[in-house]
Amino acid sequence: MMGRTIFIDPGRCIGCQACVSACRECDSHRGTSMIHLDYTDEGHSVASLPTVCMHCEDPVAPCAEVCPADAILVTADGVVQQADTTRCIGCANCVNACPFGVPKIDLGAKLQLKCNLCYDRTAYGLAPMCATVCPTGALFYGTVEELQAERPGVQVADTFVFGETEVRTGVAMVVPAEKVQWPVPGGLPVVEINGKDVRR
């Protein structure tokens, strides 16, 4: 069972951008937001989804695996760091390798930008900035047990399928228990719910 992490609850996101504003205040990248708020059908729907790094565990960080400059490091506790600004060459290999579309390239600075789970905070037991300000709880920081105590009837998905490839992540997506056969938002089928295989 995963420890303390971010749980994304898409059904609660109202697109208010509080997470984006709070991310700009993080001491490690003050002034630049590393979280992306995506509008799933912009112009036709108000549906939105905060996109944070999923901190891939298996396979371990595809973005780091393809970095030719070894600019993306993974901590011992599984947090995939943003690119080291002294090493990143802005090649965008990480952008192409990420199955979740998380890293972005700042073309002016020629640097990769992505969420690092506010490691300067979470390493000391504090919640990431985005989760501390989310007014609806679309971004929840804690354990699975804490989440389920607060929201009875939800399950979490931390395994996703891309074609023939399964990716297990350190960040999870909240899925209503009665809808576990639904695809996870973004069209990704749910493979595993709390360790149970739910494929047909």
113 CB-near residues (< 8 Å, 6+ apart):
29, 32, 34, 82, 83, 103, 104, 105, 106
Domains of the chain as residue ranges with CATH: 5-190 (3.30.70.20)
Question: From CA 138, how far away is CA 185, in angstroms rounded?
Answer: 13
Question: From CA 23, how far away is CA 76, in angstroms rounded?
Answer: 23
Range with lowest mean pLDDT among 1-5, 77-81, 111-115:
1-5
Question: From CA 158, how far away is CA 174, in angstroms rounded?
Answer: 9
Structural tokens at position 129? 């900035």
74, pLDDT greater than 50: yes
| Average pLDDT estimate for 16-44 | 86
**pLDDT per residue as tens digits for the range 123-161:** 898 999 999 999 999 999 999 999 999 998 888 989 888
- Which comes out higher in pLDDT, residue 190 or 112? 112
Phi-psi region of 144 (alpha: psi -120 to 50; beta: other; left: phi over 0): alpha
Percentage of the chain beyond pLDDT 90 is 48
196, with CB counted inside 10 A (0-12, 13-18, 19+), is exposed
Strands (E), 2-153: 5-8, 36-39, 48-51, 56-58, 104-106, 111-113, 139-142
Output the average pLDDT for the chain: 85
| Average pLDDT estimate for 51-57 | 93
For 67-103, b where at least 16 C-beta lie within 10 A, e where not — what string?
beeebbbbeeebbbbbbeeeebebbebbbebbbbebb
**pLDDT per residue as tens digits for the range 87-115:** 999 999 999 999 998 999 888 888 898 98
β-pairing, 196-197 with 188-193? Answer: antiparallel
Question: From CA 119, how far away is CA 23, in angstroms rounded?
Answer: 12
Give the pLDDT of residue 179: 57
Question: From CA 171, how far away is CA 114, in angstroms rounded?
Answer: 14
For the beta carbon of residue 29, count every other beta carbon within 10 angstroms: 18
Q: Is the peptide bond before 59 cis (omega within 30 degrees of 0)?
A: yes
72 CB-near residues (< 8 Å, 6+ apart):
61, 63, 64, 80, 81, 82, 83, 84, 94, 112
